[in-house]
A and B are shown apart, each in its own frame.
Chain A
Amino acid sequence: MTNYLLKRLGALLPTVAVPMVLLFVMLRLAPGDPAAAIAGDSATTEEIAEVRGRLGLDASLWDQFLGWLGRVVRLDFGDSLFAELRVSGLVFEHAQVTVQLTVLALTVALLIGPFLGIAAGTRRHGLLDRVLVFGSSIGIAVPSFWLAVLLIAVFGVVWQVFPVAGYVPFSEDPVLFLHHLALPAISLGLVEAATLFRYSRAGVLDSLHQPFVTTARSMGLPERMVIRKYVFRAAVVPMVTVVGLTTGSLMGGAVVTESVFSVPGLGQLLLTAVQRRDYPVIEGCIFFIAVVYVLLNLLIDLLYSLLDPRIRY
């Protein structure tokens, strides 16, 4: 088991390392002087030199890399270039909001996608199936931020049942918390539900032709029982992997959706950092998202062995 975990961690290491190294390389390859761009147009030569020193851009490339690696391994991303704040603190504070939004959106997606997928898969070529398959194609084509804009217009502005922007911490008021995050979670979750729908429908179609399903039918079990006890279970297990991938794209989507609803999450932190070229903060955000993704997928691997007794590590 420990052996297996270490092996998986090794395999997942590139997910953290590659984006980080890519950012490191890109900053050094960037046309022009990044330090001058960060310091702004009116900066003096000394100010630019100071920024360059803080970013460590004045050393040789190899020394820069070693120093950078040492800091990343110690989880030290330094201070924001624009505020006297630790990057780790900033990221952690904003990440909580994003994690909450992601969990809510995942709930929405999981409540809708797999359920409809099974309904459509078991009625293949029926009217419901066709309508849902077409609907899911549209769901995949609709950008979540456009859905967000539309939802705000209908439920926030015309009917005024949900607030159009803002965030209330859960600890302050759980009801207001949900009230504020409802529209962001729905706009994010609905789009992802379309993907989950496709996977679960394919999973059902797949397992309908499995030998054990034929056996169950030939034993004379009623079709409802066959679907509930055999088809459903076989279709659900592979979904667990999909949930891992979905969570990745939900975190990505959250970055965009947060900006529509002015939710103070990681997305807002990242966007502000990108606009100001606050390099340490960008690095911290990317690192955090990658680590969460890796841990989540590790967890899902373990969950697998619980759900499917054939898999043992």
Chain B
Amino acid sequence: MLRQRFQDLVRDRTAMAGAALLGLMIALAVLAPLLGGDPYRVDPTITLRPPSASHWFGTDEKGRDLWTMVVHGARTSLAIGAVTTALAVVTGYVLGVACGYFRWVDAVVMRVVDGLMSFPSIVLVISLVGVLGDGVATMITGLTVVLIPMVTRVVRGAALAVKAMPMVESTRSLGSRTSWVLLRYVAPEALSVTIVQAALAFSVTVLSVAALSFLGIGLPPDVPSWGTSLSAAQQYFYSAWWIGVFPGLAIVTTVLGLVLLGDGLRDVFDPRSARK
């Protein structure tokens, strides 16, 4: 079953294009220490140099090599994205399955989920960072809190659908315990929609981290990040277009990869909602 779906995914051209883009960014992030120099080395003698053989993407306003900043920015973005997505997906999955199966959990959790879902997430994250203080941990907490409802809602829908299936009813009438029904039927069925949500959650995180660091919120200012680089570009765009272009392209490549991969995953894992 899983193997068949994987083969379908490999045959999907859009999904593979997305996977290639994402794979490229992951490779850059993992190999950043080999590909780039030291992102903390500031050299005031070479500020705002245009792209050249020694500095492929030019240098920024502090004289740091922009290529180094972009690959290390990939590290920051993808690391925060991966941690946040993992936390949100696991929590959202457990909550979603519980909501779909136990009515009393559903009544409580879904009210909270509805409240958080409709609120503009970036505003909420900004405010949470404002309340909790700056820092990577705060940012991950804030982003996770706003992403959990998204996953929960979709997983709950899948769990509800499974619960209504005849196979669940028959196994229950044969005397299976709730834990068995959950583990054997509900949890695996809900997994496929969760995979689709993971790609979506990842893209939301990457965009949010970029927006937050662009605004100077959350990340310390010396941590290499695409948003921080773009923020500097506002002042120097006219004299140094490269600061405004390359970090932005990095964001678009990553998010486009995730969006395309997510579309492909949805076609394969959640065909009911995809082929509407």
Chain A bound to chain B: yes
Proximity string of chain B (119-153) to chain A, C-beta cutoff 8 Å, 1 when within and 0 when not: 11111101111111100000000000100000000
State whether A19 touches B116 (Cβ < 8 A): yes
State whether B248 touches A149 (Cβ < 8 A): yes
Proximity string of chain B (95-133) to chain A, C-beta cutoff 8 Å, 1 when within and 0 when not: 000000000000000011011101111111011111111
Q: Tell me, yes or no, whether A197 is within 8 Å of chain B by CB.
A: no
Q: Specify which chain A residues have a CB less than 8 angstroms from the CB of B241 in the assembled complex.
A: 153
* A30 with B133, Cβ < 8 A, contacts A14-B112, A157-B238 known: yes
Proximity string of chain A (235-265) to chain B, C-beta cutoff 8 Å, 1 when within and 0 when not: 0000000000100110111011001100000
Q: What's the least CB distance linking B188 to chain A, in Å?
A: 29
Q: Specify which chain B residues have a CB less than 8 angstroms from the CB of A140 in the assembled complex.
A: 255, 259
Q: Specify which chain A residues have a CB less than 8 angstroms from the CB of B272 in the assembled complex.
A: none
Q: Specify which chain A residues have a CB less than 8 angstroms from the CB of B276 in the assembled complex.
A: 202, 206
Q: Specify which chain B residues have a CB less than 8 angstroms from the CB of A295 in the assembled complex.
A: none
Q: Specify which chain B residues have a CB less than 8 angstroms from the CB of A153 in the assembled complex.
A: 237-238, 241, 244
State whether A286 touches B127 (Cβ < 8 A): yes
Q: Specify which chain B residues have a CB less than 8 angstroms from the CB of A97 in the assembled complex.
A: none
For B118, give its contact among A30, A248, A259 (CB under 8 Å).
A248
State whether A19 touches B119 (Cβ < 8 A): yes
Distance, CA A148 to CA B118, complexed state (A): 25
State whether A137 touches B256 (Cβ < 8 A): yes
Q: Tell me, yes or no, whether A32 is within 8 Å of chain B by CB.
A: yes
Q: Tell me, yes or no, whether A5 is within 8 Å of chain B by CB.
A: no
Q: Specify which chain A residues have a CB less than 8 angstroms from the CB of B69 in the assembled complex.
A: none
Q: Tell me, yes or no, whether B211 is within 8 Å of chain A by CB.
A: yes
Q: What's the least CB distance linking A134 to chain B, in Å?
A: 10
Q: Tell me, yes or no, whether A152 is within 8 Å of chain B by CB.
A: yes
For A30, give its contact among B123, B131, B207, B263 (CB under 8 Å).
B131
Distance, CA A279 to CA B211, complexed state (A): 22
Q: Tell me, yes or no, whether B19 is within 8 Å of chain A by CB.
A: no
State whether B244 touches A150 (Cβ < 8 A): yes
Distance, CA A11 to CA B117, complexed state (A): 13
State whether B248 touches A14 (Cβ < 8 A): no
Distance, CA A270 to CA B233, complexed state (A): 23
State whether A255 touches B248 (Cβ < 8 A): no
Q: Tell me, yes or no, whether A37 is within 8 Å of chain B by CB.
A: yes
For B119, give its contact among A158, A255, A289 (CB under 8 Å).
A289
**A contacts with B, residue count (CB < 8 A):** 57
For B126, give its contact among A27, A158, A255 (CB under 8 Å).
A255
Distance, CA A150 to CA B237, complexed state (A): 9
State whether B111 touches A14 (Cβ < 8 A): yes
How many B residues touch the partner, as a band? 35 or more
- Mostly helix, strand, loop or mixed at chain A's interface? helix
* A293 with B119, Cβ < 8 A, contacts A270-B126, A274-B130 known: yes
List residues 141-172 of chain A with CB under 8 A from any CB of chain B. Answer: 141-143, 145-146, 149-150, 152-153, 157-158
Distance, CA A245 to CA B128, complexed state (A): 22
Q: Tell me, yes or no, whether B217 is within 8 Å of chain A by CB.
A: yes
For B237, give its contact among A157, A202, A256 (CB under 8 Å).
A157
Q: What's the least CB distance linking B42 to chain A, in Å?
A: 23
Q: Specify which chain B residues have a CB less than 8 angstroms from the CB of A285 in the assembled complex.
A: 123, 127
State whether B122 touches A252 (Cβ < 8 A): yes
Q: Specify which chain A residues have a CB less than 8 angstroms from the CB of B244 in the assembled complex.
A: 149-150, 153
B135 (CB) vs chain A CBs: closest residue? A31
State whether B256 touches A141 (Cβ < 8 A): yes
Distance, CA A270 to CA B217, complexed state (A): 12
Q: Tell me, yes or no, whether B214 is within 8 Å of chain A by CB.
A: yes
Q: Tell me, yes or no, whether A138 is within 8 Å of chain B by CB.
A: yes
* A143 with B128, Cβ < 8 A, contacts A18-B115, A253-B122 known: no
Q: Specify which chain B residues have a CB less than 8 angstroms from the CB of A175 in the assembled complex.
A: none
List residues 231-276 of chain B with CB under 8 A from any CB of chain A. Answer: 233-234, 237-238, 241, 244, 248, 251-252, 255-256, 259-260, 263, 276
Q: Specify which chain A residues have a CB less than 8 angstroms from the CB of B133 in the assembled complex.
A: 30-32, 37, 277
Distance, CA A10 to CA B158, complexed state (A): 26
Q: Specify which chain A residues have a CB less than 8 angstroms from the CB of B255 in the assembled complex.
A: 140-143
For B251, give its contact among A143, A251, A256, A282 (CB under 8 Å).
A143
Distance, CA A216 to CA B210, complexed state (A): 49
Distance, CA A93 to CA B234, complexed state (A): 27
Q: Tell me, yes or no, whether B15 is within 8 Å of chain A by CB.
A: no
Q: Tell me, yes or no, whether A34 is within 8 Å of chain B by CB.
A: yes
Q: What's the least CB distance linking B169 to chain A, in Å?
A: 30
Q: Tell me, yes or no, whether B230 is within 8 Å of chain A by CB.
A: yes
Pairs across A and B, CB under 8 Å, 20 listed: A12-B118, A18-B119, A19-B127, A22-B128, A23-B131, A27-B131, A141-B251, A141-B252, A142-B252, A146-B230, A152-B234, A202-B276, A251-B120, A255-B120, A259-B215, A270-B126, A274-B217, A275-B216, A277-B133, A282-B131
Query: 3 closest pairs, A vs B, by CB?
Result: A18-B115, A252-B120, A14-B115
Q: A23-B127, A37-B133, A251-B120 provided; 9 other pairs, C-beta below 8 A?
A: A31-B132, A137-B259, A141-B259, A145-B214, A146-B230, A152-B237, A153-B244, A274-B129, A289-B119
